[in-house]
Amino acid sequence: MDFKRYIISVLATFCLVLNLVWLDADVSAAEKPSCVTAECHASMGKEGYVHGPVAVNQCAVCHKPTASHEFKAITDTGKLCNVCHESSHFFGKVVHPPAEKGYCTGCHNPHQSPYQFMLRQEGANVCLICHDKEFAVGEYIHSSVDKACTECHSPHTPWEIPAVRRKLDQACYTCHAEQDREMKTYLTWHTEFYCSTCHHTKHGYIPQCLECHQRHTDKVSVFLDACLTCHPPHKARQVISPADIPKEACAVCHRSQYELLQQSQTKHSALQCTKCHPDNHRTILRCSQCHVEPNCAGIHQKNMLCGQCHGPAHALRPVPQSPAHGNVR
């Protein structure tokens, strides 16, 4: 007996003992001669991939004998498979319905198969047992469809795609080239995620941002269009500032500036942040774009920066009024 067969034998024996306890099987009946003989089930165990218990003639691991060549009907396939196969591997945001419902034998032959993992068909054909082939018909066809759906999709949790970046480039970015460019150019936490982290459930699904993120403030709507007003999803840190965004939203990140502005009680306090910081995030207008320059040129010759007299824009200092000072346009 080679090492591989020895390991299979050990595992099958373990499953047998576990199953006898789990299913309360009749030990004496389980010790009957092998079901696989020249006269009965002769072809069993001859394929390239064989279920461990079959390989070592331990049919009673799955089939509970009740009498000579009589067995209790298997009514819950999923429960039976989970005695040996850990079901926690099948948990995710979206679980493949056959795996979720315990219909393991819809995809896997329980005894043997010429295909790896004891699948009923090879490659993408096993998926086409249930899925309509029409989804793979058209002028542009996904590169993996003719090979194996599992190049992208985990078979038990199909929307958790365990692919490296290279495979994603060949998959999602085959059609979504602009999103690929943005994700690679503007690096954020999103860059580290698979496309299916956000676009789960089905193709074309667009999530609400609050599935992962907390909103900045109660002043901001909880709906997706509110988030996208400022944050393009594939380059989220390239913030766009609409003119009517409330300053409380900016205060989430710029808390100290917001508090200084509120305390200063100047005309600046009543303005929205976008009055001085319009359009793209971090845009800063020059004072002269709103304020006319002083009538007295000597003031600027002495103090080249507005802040030398007036202080920072968020906490202006009162300055004695005189005709030498300009007014807001």
Predicted local distance difference test score (pLDDT) of residue 6:
53
Q: Is the pLDDT of residue 263 over 60?
A: yes
Residues 6+ apart with CB under 8 A from 32: 65, 68
Question: How many other β-carbons are positioned within 10 Å of the β-carbon of residue 26?
Answer: 16
CA angle, residues 243, 247, 250, in degrees to nearest 5: 100
| Mean model confidence pLDDT for the chain | 75
The pLDDT tens digits of the residues spanning 12-29 come to 556 555 554 444 444 444
More confident residue, 20 or 233: 233
- The model's pTM is 0.45
**At residue 52, what is the residue type?**
G
Return the domain boundaries, the chain.
Answer: 3-121, 208-285, 286-329
Section 196-215 average pLDDT: 79
Predicted local distance difference test score (pLDDT) of residue 14:
60
Question: How many other β-carbons are positioned within 10 Å of the β-carbon of residue 35?
Answer: 17
Radius of gyration of the chain from its Cα atoms, rounded to whole angstroms: 34
Section 24-46 average pLDDT: 67
Predicted local distance difference test score (pLDDT) of residue 10:
56
Lowest mean pLDDT among 46-50, 165-169, 232-236: 165-169
Report the DSSP pairing between strands 240-241 and 279-280: antiparallel
Residues 6+ apart with CB under 8 A from 211: 198
Lowest mean pLDDT among 121-130, 175-184, 255-264, 287-296: 287-296
Lowest mean pLDDT among 81-95, 155-169, 170-184: 155-169
The pLDDT tens digits of the residues spanning 77-128 come to 888 988 888 776 666 667 888 888 889 999 999 999 999 999 999 888 888 8
What DSSP state is assigned to residue 127? G
Q: Is the pLDDT of residue 65 over 80?
A: yes
User: What is d(CA 307, CA 327) in angstroms, rounded to the nearest whole number?
Assistant: 16
Provide the percentage of residues in the chain whose pLDDT is more than 90: 6
